[in-house]
Amino acid sequence: MSRNSEPMQSRAAVLAGVAATAALCLWGALETYGFERAYQQQNRDPYMVEAQFARLAGIAATVPENAVMGYLTDAQDGSAGASAMLAGAQYVLAPRLLARGTGHEWVLGNFARPGDFAAVGRSHGLELQQDFGNGAVLYRHEAPR
C-alpha cells in the first residue's frame, strides 16, 4: 500500500460511518413518528381538555378576561386528576387566571362528581351564580375581596 492510498481509505471509512449514522438517525425518526402516530390515534385526549372548551364556554363568556378567579374542586388535592382538571380549566379560561381557594370575587367550581353545589358554595361564603352543568359552576362573593 502506498502512503497516498491511506488517506483515501480513511476518508472513505469516515464517509461510510457518517452515511450509516445518518441512515440510522433517519430510520429512528421514522420509527418514532410511526409509534407516536399510532399512540395518538388511540389516546387522543386522555384528560378531555378539548371537551373543556364547550363545558366552560358559559363561564368564559360571563367572567371578564382580566379577572383572577378562585378555584374550588372536589378532586383529591395533589392527584393527577386534580392537576389535569386545574390545568385544563386554566388553559380554556385564559387569559383569566385561576388561583386555588375562594378569596376572589369570581370562583370557578370544577367538580368531578354531582352534588349540591349551592350548599358547597355557601359553606365557603359564596353565592351560586350559575350551574353550567357537567360539574362546571360559577360562584361569586357578594362583595369583591
* pLDDT 10s digits, 50-96: 888 999 999 999 999 999 999 999 999 889 889 989 999 999 999 99
* pLDDT 10s digits, 125-145: 999 999 999 999 999 986 554
* pLDDT 10s digits, 67-76: 999 999 999 9
71 located within any domain = yes
Q: What is the mean pLDDT of residues 105-125?
A: 95
Give residue 128's domain range.
49-140
Average pLDDT of every residue of the chain? 89
Q: What is the mean pLDDT of residues 18-27?
A: 95
Closest by Cα among 87, 54, 48, 72 to 129 = 72
* 85 and 136 belong to one structural domain: yes
* 61 and 96 belong to one structural domain: yes
Look at phi and psi of residue 95 and say left if phi exceeds 0, alpha if psi is from -120 to 50, else beta: alpha
Closest by Cα among 56, 100, 98, 102 to 78 = 100
* Residue 138 near residue 129 (C-beta atoms within 8 A): yes
Residue with cell 382538571: 85
pLDDT for the residue numbered 142: 66
* 34 and 67 belong to one structural domain: no
117 located within any domain = yes
pLDDT for the residue numbered 93: 97
**In this structure, are strands 136-140 and 127-131 parallel, antiparallel, or unpaired?**
antiparallel
Question: How many domains, the chain?
Answer: 2
* 130 and 113 belong to one structural domain: yes
Q: What is the mean pLDDT of residues 40-47?
A: 72
Give backbone dihedrals phi and psi of 21, rounded to 5 degrees, phi first.
Answer: -65, -45
